[in-house]
């Protein structure tokens, strides 16, 4: 592993030109250790092409990507460094879950114990003999993640890993990725679920028409709306903990998470009567930064501009 201050993933000037047009244009960003970075953008923004170039599946016209300081193709044991899930539908439909995982494990030099651990981790042990073609999309996503984890990698690159997962599956996935990052790993994932990304990601990279239009955090600190049996006491308790709060006749606000407000109310014995996260900041940033596949957006009267 490289020095701790070096990024897990370093993307520099990735460009892909086809028929004289830049599909991806000078894309650069870093993914730090101990973090989750969301790669966002509307359809056609260049996310999949960027991921393909990063992993050597598509040759870039120019630019480089380094995982722990090396190009993916230069890694001696790539599955031990980078776990990859790009296409949940890539498994052969006529093979069982067990066979699919076994073949991937053999290619990566992974033993049976690790294979069984990954199968159990993603919750597919009970369907190990089922054909891949008979799996739901959510189950295929879980199988793809199990394959990505076989080498016990330090970095994960995931393309829309939440597609097809039910609410319990999404909660499990988000918890897993958070724990993976907090234990010192690094996660890069693309997603269209902006609400989840707002809560989950430490950094965001937004692409629009092949270019990076935003990198870093989203548009500000978390914020919640609340009311309680004793608003003055709750305001005072929150402020004593260094949290900015705002009094209002219609609502009270605090620049923190719902969890912190809830725990503070319990600590001081003041019951909450209302608590709601004020989300949508990332969505607003996304809409302000991107044009999408079309050159106009609908206005209030339904017409584009």
Average pLDDT, the chain: 87
CA distance 252 to 265: 14
pTM of the model: 0.75
Q: Exposure pattern of 154-182 as b/e (b: 16+ CB <10 Å)?
A: bbbbbbbbbebbeeebbebbbebbeebbe
CA distance 83 to 94: 24
Class of 9-216 per CATH? alpha beta
Q: Residue 199 CB: number of other CB atoms within 10 A? A: 15
In the chain, where does DSSP find H-type helix? 47-54, 78-81, 97-107, 112-121, 137-149, 167-182, 194-200, 231-240, 258-268, 281-289
Residue ranges covered by each domain of the chain: 9-216, 224-277
Res. 131 pLDDT band, cuts 50 70 90? very high
* pLDDT tens digits for range 133-192: 999 988 999 999 999 999 999 999 999 998 888 888 888 898 999 999 999 999 999 988
User: What size, in residues, is the chain?
Assistant: 305
Q: Residue 303 CB: number of other CB atoms within 10 A? A: 9
Read off the pLDDT of each residue in 71-100 and give the average, rounded to a whole number: 91
């Amino acid at each position: 592993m490289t020095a701790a201050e070096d990024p897990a993933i370093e993307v520099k000037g990735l460009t892909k030109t086809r028929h004289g047009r830049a599909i991806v244009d000078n894309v650069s960003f870093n993914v730090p250790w101990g973090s989750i970075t969301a790669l966002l953008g509307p359809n056609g923004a260049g996310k999949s092409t960027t991921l393909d170039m990063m992993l050597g599946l598509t040759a870039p016209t120019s630019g480089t990507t380094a995982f722990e300081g090396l190009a993916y193709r230069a890694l001696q044991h790539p599955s031990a460094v980078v776990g990859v899930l790009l296409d949940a539908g890539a498994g052969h439909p006529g093979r069982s879950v067990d066979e699919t995982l076994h073949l991937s494990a053999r290619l990566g030099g992974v033993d049976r114990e690790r294979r069984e651990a990954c199968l159990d981790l993603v919750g597919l042990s009970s369907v190990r003999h089922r054909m891949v073609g008979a799996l739901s999309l959510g189950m295929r996503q879980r199988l793809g993640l199990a394959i990505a984890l076989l080498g016990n990698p330090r970095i994960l690159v995931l393309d829309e890993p939440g597609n097809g997962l039910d609410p319990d599956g999404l909660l499990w996935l988000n918890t897993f990725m958070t724990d993976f990052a907090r234990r010192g790993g690094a996660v890069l994932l693309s997603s269209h679920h902006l609400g989840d990304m707002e809560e989950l990601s430490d950094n965001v990279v937004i692409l629009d028409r092949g270019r990076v239009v935003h990198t870093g955090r989203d548009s500000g600190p978390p914020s919640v709306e609340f009311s309680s049996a004793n608003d003055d006491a709750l305001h005072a308790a929150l402020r004593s903990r260094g949290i900015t709060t705002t009094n209002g006749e219609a609502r009270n606000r605090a620049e923190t998470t719902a969890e912190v407000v809830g725990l503070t109310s319990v600590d001081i014995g003041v019951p909450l009567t209302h608590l709601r996260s004020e989300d949508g900041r990332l969505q607003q940033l996304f809409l302000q930064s991107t044009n999408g596949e079309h050159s106009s957006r609908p206005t209030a009267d339904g017409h584009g501009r």
